[in-house]
Amino acid sequence: MTLYLATNGPLHRLHPLTKLTGLFTVLTAALLGPNVWLPLGLFFVEWLLAVWGGVGRSWLGRNGRILLPLIVMLFVIHGFFNPNGQTPLLTLWRLTLTQEGVAYALLLSSRLAAIVGAALLLLLTTHPGDLLTALTQRGLPPALAYIISSTLYILPQMQSKATAIMQAQQARGLETEGSLWRRARALLPLLAPLVLGALVDSEERAIALESRGFRVRGPKSSLVELPDSPGQRWLRRGLLLGILLLIGWRIWRLFT
Distance CA 15, CA 134 (A): 8
The range of the structural domain enclosing residue 235 comes to 16-213+228-251
Question: Using 50, 70 and 90 to split pLDDT, how confident is the model at 175?
Answer: low
Asked if the structure places residue 244 within a domain, the reply is: yes
On whether residue 137 sits in a domain, the answer given is yes
Count of Cβ atoms closer than 10 Å to residue 174 Cβ: 13
Q: What is the pTM of this model?
A: 0.78
Bridge partners for 96 per DSSP: 91
Q: Give just the sign of the alpha carbon dihedral 249, 251, 253, 255.
A: negative
User: What tens digit of pLDDT does each residue of 106-137 get?
Assistant: 999 999 999 999 999 998 999 888 888 888 88
What is the mean pLDDT of the segment spanning 207-231? 74
The answer to whether residue 136 is domain-embedded is: yes
Q: Is the pLDDT of residue 183 over 70?
A: no
Give domain status of residue 5, yes or no.
Answer: no
Structural domain contains residue 110: yes
| Domain-embedded: residue 1 | no
- Structural domains of the chain, count: 1
- 224 in Cβ contact with 133 (< 8 Å): yes
Residue 9 falls inside a structural domain:
no
How many Å apart are CA 93 and CA 24, to the nearest integer?
43
Contact status, residue 1 vs residue 157, Cβ threshold 8 Å: yes
141: in domain:
yes
Q: Are 138 and 17 a contacting pair, CB within 8 Å?
A: yes
